[in-house]
Amino acid sequence: MKKPLVVALISIVIGFAIWAGVTYPRIGGEVLALASKIETTLYGLHRAEIEISDSRLMSWQGGPKDSAETVVMLHGYSSEKTVWMRFASHFTDRYRVLILDLPGHGETAFDPALKYDSVSQGERVLQALDALGVAKAHIIGNSMGGFIAAQIALHHPERVRSATLIDPAGVVAPNTSDMERMRALGRNPFEMSSREEFDTFYAMTMSQPPWLPRMILDYMADDYIARRESLARIFHDFHDVDMLDTRLSEFGVPVLLLWGERDRLLDISSAEVWRQGIPGAQLITYPELGHMPMLEDASGSSRDVLDFIAKHQ
């Protein structure tokens, strides 16, 4: 084979490899977006923008607008509104549902001028409720979202019918989680620079994750890598800031705690800190689930929350 032809073939192979490496995860993102659009439509959710003082919050909203009860769902750090899709489908027949992309997450832009601590984010959630004319709501939050929900319940009990905290951040765990052990060695699993590091992180987030094709996982990995700097800033603003250990006795709203016993990010030992500290708090744990029960078992966890909310309308 002549040398020019060999060089041409090698160039074609290299070009195809580069094209595949760039395009393949991008297709995964498009597939994920399409699947999410189809599912949310089936579940009666629609995309809507909410203008507040310092942000344009993207959201999914659904359920009867004239419902006397509103349920707000707040995702965790580095996550987005899609984690609530299937969970929310169990609420939209009877409750007005609001699922937010918090600033710096999902479709809501990151702005380095903003503060991302749990109190500031909680104030933005209240501004969103004001914009929608909602005076009082049931607040559900996972992880960082649980921390934010707790801050809202503590500082603005008049706005909260009930608070459901799912594997929430916000107190010091008696036992060390896998994440904290990694951080003690100088590595935050949320901050990654390769798809291999994403795979390690993803395995920590859930014990029973929903199946996703590789192209979607690679798209998610590339997205985390691209957001590394903004995620580091958000983590710095909220992690171990305005902790609630000494203020739990001040809670004056009904509180339900849900926790996956296989949580590797926030250790299950935190659950008893919350339960013992908050007057009347209820705790339900899931032996087979991890950090995101609402995604790992949408049907079972939503049933527990619906039963709780029904008692506090």
Which has the minimum average pLDDT: 33-37, 40-44, 79-83, 298-302? 33-37
Residue 77 has pLDDT above 80, yes or no: yes
CB contact set of 47 (below 8 Å; sequence gap of 6+) = 40, 58, 59, 60
Average pLDDT over residues 138-166: 98
Residue 40 has pLDDT above 70, yes or no: yes
The whole-model pTM stands at 0.91
Average pLDDT over residues 170-185: 97
Distance of CA 223 to the CA centre of its chain: 15
Pull the structure tokens for residue 213: 């094709």
Which has the minimum average pLDDT: 109-118, 165-174, 212-221, 253-262? 212-221
Mean pLDDT of the chain: 91
Q: What's the pLDDT at 10?
A: 37
Q: What's the pLDDT at 132?
A: 96
| CATH architecture of the domain with range 3-310 | 3-Layer(aba) Sandwich (3.40)
Q: What's the pLDDT at 23?
A: 52
Distance of CA 274 to the CA centre of its chain: 20
Residue 280 has pLDDT above 50, yes or no: yes
User: What are the pLDDT digits (tens) for 193-224?
Assistant: 999 999 999 999 999 999 988 888 999 999 99
Average pLDDT over residues 79-95: 96
Cβ(228)–Cβ(191) under 8 Å?
yes
Residue 14 has pLDDT above 90, yes or no: no
CA dist 43 → 60, 88, 92, 107, 160 (Å): 11, 8, 7, 20, 25
Q: What's the pLDDT at 35?
A: 81
CA distance 105 to 125: 14
CA distance 295 to 121: 22
Residue 11 has pLDDT above 50, yes or no: no
Q: Where are the alpha helices (DSSP H) in the chain?
A: 3-42, 85-88, 118-131, 144-155, 178-184, 195-205, 214-226, 228-238, 270-277, 293-296, 298-310
Give percent of the chain with pLDDT exceeding 70: 92
Q: Indicate if the alpha-carbon torsion angle 110, 238, 50, 107 is positive or negative.
A: positive
Distance of CA 293 to the CA centre of its chain: 11
Q: What's the pLDDT at 37?
A: 85
Pull the structure tokens for residue 11: 């160039």
Domain boundaries, the chain: 3-310
Residue 7 has pLDDT above 50, yes or no: no
Cβ(206)–Cβ(296) under 8 Å?
yes
Band (178; pLDDT cuts 50, 70, 90)? very high
Pull the structure tokens for residue 65: 């607008």
Residue 2 has pLDDT above 70, yes or no: no
Of 85, 67, 65, 73, the closest CA to residue 139 belongs to 73
